[in-house]
Amino acid sequence: MNTVRWIFSLLLSMALPAMAQHHHDPTQRRPPPLAIGAAFSPAGELWIVGLDAQQHLFVQTSADAGRHWSEPRPIAIGKDKVSADGENRPKLAFGPNSYAVISYTEPLDKPYTGRIRMLRSNDDGRTFSPPFTVHRDRQIITHRFEAIAFDARGLLHTLWIDKRDLEAQLKSAATTSKPDTSKQHSKTPSAYRGAAIYRNESSDGGLSFGPDIKLADHSCECCRIALAPSPDGGLAALWRHVFAPNERDHAFALLSGPPPLEPMRASFDHWAVDACPHHGPGLAPAAAGGYHAVWFGDRAGVAQVRYGQLNADGSVRGQVRPLPDERAEHAAIQSAGAKVVIAWRSFDGQVTHWRAWVSSDDGVSFAVKELGQSADDNDHPLLVKRGEQIFALWRTSQGVRVEPIAP
């Protein structure tokens, strides 16, 4: 009889963990991911793309810059999952010839892996193709944190964080050290810092793509990539980089021409840390040439969002200034002529503030503008441009707010 009791207790002890896994208070569940992408269509409509409460991809449009919205329109993506949290979000972009594209990172089952997916339209977004993978490399590895934009010539650029070089080095190291234990390569230490930035181009709105091109080795692994128009009609990119030995500052490169041997260092916080900041930069063209940049970093123990200007080659120009809010996070930047707008969010212990720093003199001076606040869950602030107009967007669990900032 004692044996029977003992076995019963044993089986119960094994069953309890499985039972415990399912006991959560549904009211405590996190709301659906709020991260959205936004863009104005050539016709002047504001579009957003995101996930609804059931985590289905949708688009929504507004003909009056956010005062009224259409009903959400579901977008079919089969069984794809969509990363829509923090630095990873669905995005959309409009190009020439009625082209429109939606992109997202699809996380795969293996940790840290993903692929960049896209849907294309050649009827101004009225219909979209089924999703397809953008990159030629099909390994189950990291392809994440994509950025997309059409340049002034109508070329579609897609950039992403890619770990094929790290994986290759790990395999190579494993082969060199232990030729018959190929399965152990993932445990072999590598000297490769971070990940890499890869990109490709499409001249037909996503119908076909050129080869995967490496832009730079040694990017940070978990931060968004910023894109901005360059004076030659192309694009410039800014991303968090891992400078030797482990300084997580920012690097700049133009996308036209051959990849640079080394990207230009665009920030000098000297944040030496083996960590994921989850906090990518922003980039916008300056009226006087060069660029405005905004980024988060830890400089001599002070973690802040900072603003600075870059020359046309991405080198630092002038003084770096912290935003006038020590708790600012996830800042976006946009410019139109001499107008520069930086928008961010800031949690004060009770509510999240939505703020902007606005300049009318190409970044010489700024004034703070309070855009709103929310006690609800909320996304990172966005800035979108229609001609010379700049609008701030902020999605909370109550909906999407839109504020015209400039002119």
Partner 1 sequence: MNPSLPKRFSALIFGLSVLSMHAWAAPRAVETFDSKTWPQLQAELKRPAVAVFTTTDCVHCPAVIDSLTRGMRQRRLKADLTVVVMDQAPGDNDAALLSNKHYRQVDRLFAFAGQAPALRYAVDPRWRGATPYVVFMAPKTPALAVTGPPSAADFDAWVQTSSGHAGEARR
Least Cβ distance, residue 323 to partner 1 (angstroms): 12
Does 275 bind partner 1 (CB under 8 A)? Our answer is yes
Other beta carbons within 10 angstroms of residue 129's beta carbon come to 15
Contacting residue, 245, 257, 258, 349, with partner 1 by CB under 8 A: 349
Other beta carbons within 10 angstroms of residue 11's beta carbon come to 10
Does 299 bind partner 1 (CB under 8 A)? Our answer is no
Q: How far apart are CA 82 and CA 88, in angstroms?
A: 9
Q: How far apart are CA 123 and CA 128, in angstroms?
A: 8
Nearest-CA neighbor of 167 among 196, 145, 146, 147? 196
Bridge partners, residue 57, by sequence: 51
Contacting residue, 64, 262, 274, 361, with partner 1 by CB under 8 A: 274
Return the C-alpha torsion angle 302, 306, 310, 316, nearest 10.
-10
Instruction: From 57-65, 198-206, 211-219, 296-304, give the range in contact with partner 1 by CB under 8 A.
Output: 296-304
Q: How far apart are CA 100 and CA 77, in angstroms?
A: 16
Least Cβ distance, residue 25 to partner 1 (angstroms): 7
**CB nearer to partner 1: pick between 163 and 339:** 163
Instruction: From 69-77, 90-98, 274-282, 315-323, give the range in contact with partner 1 by CB under 8 A.
Output: 274-282
Mode of pairing for the β-strands spanning 339-347 and 352-359 = antiparallel
**CB nearer to partner 1: pick between 92 and 161:** 161
Does 258 bind partner 1 (CB under 8 A)? Our answer is no
Least Cβ distance, residue 23 to partner 1 (angstroms): 7
Q: Which of residues 3-42 bind partner 1 (CB under 8 A)?
A: 7, 10-11, 13-14, 16-17, 20-26, 28-30
Mode of pairing for the β-strands spanning 399-406 and 389-396 = antiparallel
Q: What kind and span of H or E run contains 11?
A: helix 2-20
As a residue count, the chain comes to 407
Binding mask 85-124 toward partner 1 (x if CB under 8 A, else -) reads xx------------------------xx------------
Q: How far apart are CA 402 and CA 60, in angstroms?
A: 13
Q: Locate tokens 């036209």: which residue?
A: 256
Binding mask 179-218 toward partner 1 (x if CB under 8 A, else -) reads ----------------------------------------
Query: What residues make contact with partner 1 under the rule CB under 8 A?
Result: 7, 10-11, 13-14, 16-17, 20-26, 28-30, 85-86, 111-112, 144, 221-222, 273-279, 296, 298, 303, 327, 329, 345, 347, 349, 352, 376-378
